[in-house]
């Protein structure tokens, strides 16, 4: 069973501190949701863990199975088992999904090692069957003219092929229709299991009706200020975030 430990993490962008001492442990099999108002540092957290070069980790630790990943470049972190689902996926006209995924897997192999083509297609088709994706889908160019739902299907298939230990999913729920939400949810629910920990970042409770989280955390001003179970998400949906701000203010006073 894998485990991602985030310990007292501080992250800055252009000398401005955005994540201000955040701790969280995600074990294999667990789904953690982070909710919080806009601008609170949720995307910054996921990009910093994935190794985005614009985000500077000024202190704290991120351990994957007990080993620090902070010295690793983004591609090495991906190879170690961290998967970041992009909020705004890119289009790659002219490159089919099948070839893109093959290149992504090839990139993880050591120099001189080649992906075995028949083994690759066997695995691809097995994952597509698992996720109920039509065979025709992978001959299309990556995200080229895709609907929101098709982009999500592509992303979920990529995740299934890469078999990460930890998936960081930063969702723009606002841009997703119900079909796209279901695609993400069905994919994650299918892959859920001891080998996979999930960090689901979401602004709205809606996604959590489909992917029921084990834990819900509220992030505010760069920190986790409250944690609970799925009921916390319902409470936030009903009451907004102001009561949490008030709680924090009265705790300080
Ligand atoms: P959230 O995902 O919770 O809405 P973000 O992590 O995107 O929050 O942003 C947190 C803060 O960091 C915001 O004030 C935002 O303006 C700032 N920020 C995010 N990315 C950048 C960037 N690349 N350059 C400068 N400031 C940024
Ligand atoms: Mg964000």
pLDDT digits (tens, 9 = 90+) for 15-42: 999 999 999 999 999 999 999 998 999 9
pLDDT at residue 176 in the model:
78
Q: Angle between the 230-239 and 242-252 helix axes, to the nearest 10 degrees?
A: 100
Confidence band of 86 (pLDDT split at 50, 70, 90): low
State pLDDT tens for residues 117-174.
999 999 999 999 999 999 999 999 998 888 888 888 999 999 999 999 999 998 766 6
* Residue 230 CB–ligand 1 contact under 6 Å: no
Question: Using a 6 Å cutoff on CB, does residue 22 contact ligand 1?
Answer: no
Give the mean model confidence (pLDDT) for residues 191-216: 93
Break the chain into its structural domains and give their ranges.
3-92+164-252
Distance CA 52, CA 119 (A): 32
| Cα distance between residue 88 and residue 244, in whole Å | 29
The average pLDDT across 215-222 equals 97
Sorted by sequence, the CB contacts under 8 Å of residue 5 that are 6+ apart come out as 24, 25, 61, 62, 63, 66
Mean pLDDT lowest among 16-25, 173-182, 208-217? 173-182
Top-level class of domain 3-92+164-252 = alpha beta
The better pLDDT of the pair 4, 106 is held by 4
> For all residues of the chain together, what is the average pLDDT?
92
Q: Which one of 11, 20, 44 would you pick to mutate in the ligand 1 pocket, going by the greatest count of ligand atoms within 8 A of its CB?
A: 44
- How many whole angstroms from 215 Cα to the centroid of ligand 2? 19
Confirm or reject: Cβ of 12 under 6 Å from ligand 1. no
Q: Which ligand is in closest contact with the Cα of 42? A: 1
Burial 52-89 (b: 16+ CB within 10 A, else e): eeebebeebebebeeeebeebeeeebbebbbbbbeeee
pLDDT score recorded for residue 191? 95
């Amino acid at each position: 069973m894998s485990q991602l430990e985030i310990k007292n993490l501080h992250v800055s962008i252009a000398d401005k501190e955005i994540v201000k001492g955040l701790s969280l442990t995600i074990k294999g099999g667990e789904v953690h949701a982070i909710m919080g108002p806009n601008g609170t540092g949720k995307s910054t957290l996921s990009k910093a863990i994935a190794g985005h070069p614009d985000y500077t980790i000024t202190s704290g630790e991120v351990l994957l199975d007990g080993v620090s990943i902070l010295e690793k470049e983004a591609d090495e972190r991906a190879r170690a088992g961290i998967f970041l689902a992009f909020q705004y996926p890119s289009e790659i006209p002219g490159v089919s999904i099948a070839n893109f995924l093959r290149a992504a897997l090839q990139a993880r192999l050591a120099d001189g090692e080649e992906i075995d083509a028949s083994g690759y297609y066997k695995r691809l088709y097995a994952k597509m069957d698992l996720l109920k994706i039509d065979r025709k889908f992978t001959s299309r160019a990556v995200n080229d003219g895709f609907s929101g739902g098709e982009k999500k299907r592509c992303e979920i298939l990529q995740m299934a092929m890469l078999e990460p230990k930890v998936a960081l999913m930063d969702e723009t729920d606002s841009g997703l229709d119900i079909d796209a939400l279901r695609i993400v949810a069905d994919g994650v629910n299918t892959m859920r299991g001891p080998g996979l920990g999930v960090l689901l970042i979401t602004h709205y409770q809606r996604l959590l009706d489909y992917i029921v989280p084990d834990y819900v955390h509220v992030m505010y001003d760069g920190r986790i200020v409250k944690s609970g179970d799925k009921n916390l998400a319902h409470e936030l949906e009903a009451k907004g975030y102001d009561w949490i701000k008030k709680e924090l203010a009265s705790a300080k006073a």
